Structure 1
Amino acid sequence: MNLNQLFCEMIQYYRNDPKRIQHFTKVHSYAKLIGELSGMQGEELLTLEVAAYVHDIGIKVAEEKYGSSNGRLQEQEGPAVAEDMLGRMHFDEKIIRRVSYLVGHHHTYDQIDGLDYQILVEADFLVNLYEDGVTKEAVMHAYNKIFRTEHGKRICAEMFGIEE
């Protein structure tokens, strides 16, 4: 149940795919920061951090099975892979269940049902908006429609030069 062990396991999982390793590393960093600034701690923060590391774990299976890494396929294929990995690593069953749910919904933005879910989505957006090189208009749309936490909004605004 060690986050550094999970980090190393995910690096091994994405062996020879530095883009995916860089992505989950950055998402974890922002999720942890926003979570801690929002007052998360203990099991709640641990669940968020675990979810941030494994949120895109379904990409490999989706690409192998369907030749695509689209969000719906990630949500479909990811939970079973995450459950298997986290179970082998002896994470608590409650954490595995919630992480599995988050992995299976992290591209579904109209069903956000908790602070962990909201922060995971915001952290993923912070990284994707940059990595995808989207327009200022797309950033503004995400800022207005996706970001809800005080700290996520502030980081997004500062990162992309949005006047709040």
Structure 2
Amino acid sequence: MKCPGQDTQYWKPGAIFDAKCPECGSKVEFFKDDTSRKCGNCGHRFVNPSMDFGCAAYCQYAEQCLGNLPPELMAQKEDLLKDRVAIEMKKYFKRDFKRIGHATKVARYAERIGKREGGNMAVILCAAYLHDIGIHEAERKFNSTAAKYQETEGPPIADGILTKLGAKQALKDEVCDIVGHHHHPRDEETLNFKVLYDADLIVNLEEKHKEKPFNADKLIRVIEKSFLTESGQKEARKILLKEV
């Protein structure tokens, strides 16, 4: 069966169009399902500016449908994956809005920190959305939300979600490794782990501060001692101490 989006019998006017070459400005004819084309004038190959590759982030038939995506699109494919992971996280937690809100906020801070520090944003954001995914199983099996139980129960669930969405093995392995020890940094850690750890720490401190406010001196000591990245520390100061 052919994907309807790629089957010409479903195409509408505009499915074949001209795009301007970004190098020389010549017109290059594109079909809507072309991933890229080479300019006949200067030889520059560029990505189809009108193609939506969103489905490639999660469809198990994407490779057969689209073939090998151009290198320029591989980062986009992984970036789109985190949006699907966010949806699956919300489906998994159902009406547990506390956990959904926590994971969403961690992802927001992780994105800010990660963009300043570098690192693989697909890994960072997938880990952010899934870092506490084991908490329901921890409660069910052990009647506890303790970190060690979350870290034990989380990786198999995270792996199942990422496998369902067609994530690459290397990304799955790293995300599951982070989920499996996200409260316990090792002596040597990846930048991706550090970014997630700092984002989670900010949210945890923020939640505790709302329940029982810390004084400013204590917050400063915690921030100076506990964070693993400079950007995480700056974000914590901004969020918790309201520094500009």
Name the CA distance, whole Å, in 2 between partners of 1:139 and 1:162: 12
Name the CA distance, whole Å, in 2 between partners of 1:112 and 1:63: 30
Decide which moves more: 144-153 or 94-103.
144-153
Residue in structure 1 matched with residue 164 of structure 2 by the alignment = 88
Residue in structure 2 matched with residue 8 of structure 1 by the alignment = 87
Residue in structure 2 matched with residue 54 of structure 1 by the alignment = 130
Please say if residues 109 and 146 of structure 1, whose CA atoms lie closer than 8 Å, have aligned partners that are also in contact: no
Q: How far has the Cα of 1:135 moved from its partner?
A: 1.9
Residue in structure 1 matched with residue 224 of structure 2 by the alignment = 144
Name the CA distance, whole Å, in 1 between partners of 2:222 and 2:136: 26
Larger-gyration structure (1/2): 2
Name the aligned partner's letter for residue 139 of structure 1: L
Please say if residues 31 and 52 of structure 1, whose CA atoms lie closer than 8 Å, have aligned partners that are also in contact: yes
What stretches of structure 2 of length at least 5 have no aligned partner?
A: 1-56, 58-80
SS at match of 1:132: helix
Name the aligned partner's letter for residue 190 of structure 2: G
Query: Is residue 144 of structure 2 the alignment partner of residue 64 of structure 1?
Result: no
Q: How far has the Cα of 1:112 moved from its partner?
A: 5.0
Query: Is residue 102 of structure 2 the alignment partner of residue 26 of structure 1?
Result: no
Name the aligned partner's letter for residue 147 of structure 1: F
Name the CA distance, whole Å, in 2 between partners of 1:121 and 1:20: 17
Q: How far has the Cα of 1:144 moved from its partner?
A: 2.4
Q: How far has the Cα of 1:147 moved from its partner?
A: 1.1
Aligned in 2, Cα 1:138/1:65: closer, same or farther, shift over 3 Å? farther
Name the CA distance, whole Å, in 1 between partners of 2:178 and 2:188: 9
Structure 1 length-normalised TM: 0.90
Structure 2 length-normalised TM: 0.62
Please say if residues 112 and 118 of structure 1, whose CA atoms lie closer than 8 Å, have aligned partners that are also in contact: no
Q: How far has the Cα of 1:111 moved from its partner?
A: 3.7
Aligned in 2, Cα 1:112/1:19: closer, same or farther, shift over 3 Å? farther
Query: Is residue 175 of structure 2 the alignment partner of residue 99 of structure 1?
Result: yes
Name the CA distance, whole Å, in 2 between partners of 1:27 and 1:143: 17
SS at match of 2:178: helix
Name the CA distance, whole Å, in 1 between partners of 2:187 and 2:133: 20
Please say if residues 58 and 74 of structure 1, whose CA atoms lie closer than 8 Å, have aligned partners that are also in contact: yes
Residue in structure 1 matched with residue 237 of structure 2 by the alignment = 157
Query: Is residue 207 of structure 2 the alignment partner of residue 115 of structure 1?
Result: no
Please say if residues 24 and 52 of structure 1, whose CA atoms lie closer than 8 Å, have aligned partners that are also in contact: yes
Aligned in 2, Cα 1:124/1:138: closer, same or farther, shift over 3 Å? farther
Residue in structure 1 matched with residue 5 of structure 2 by the alignment = none
Q: How far has the Cα of 1:109 moved from its partner?
A: 2.9
Deviations 1:93-149 (A, max 9, x none): 000000010000101034451111111110001111011225235533431222132
Decide which moves more: 71-80 or 135-144.
135-144
Name the aligned partner's letter for residue 39 of structure 1: G
Where relative contact order (Cα < 8 A, 6+ residues apart) is larger, the structure is: 1
Aligned in 2, Cα 1:138/1:111: closer, same or farther, shift over 3 Å? farther
Name the aligned partner's letter for residue 98 of structure 1: E
Name the CA distance, whole Å, in 1 between partners of 2:206 and 2:218: 11
**Which has a greater percent of strand?**
2
Q: How far has the Cα of 1:90 moved from its partner?
A: 0.8
Name the CA distance, whole Å, in 2 between partners of 1:100 and 1:147: 22
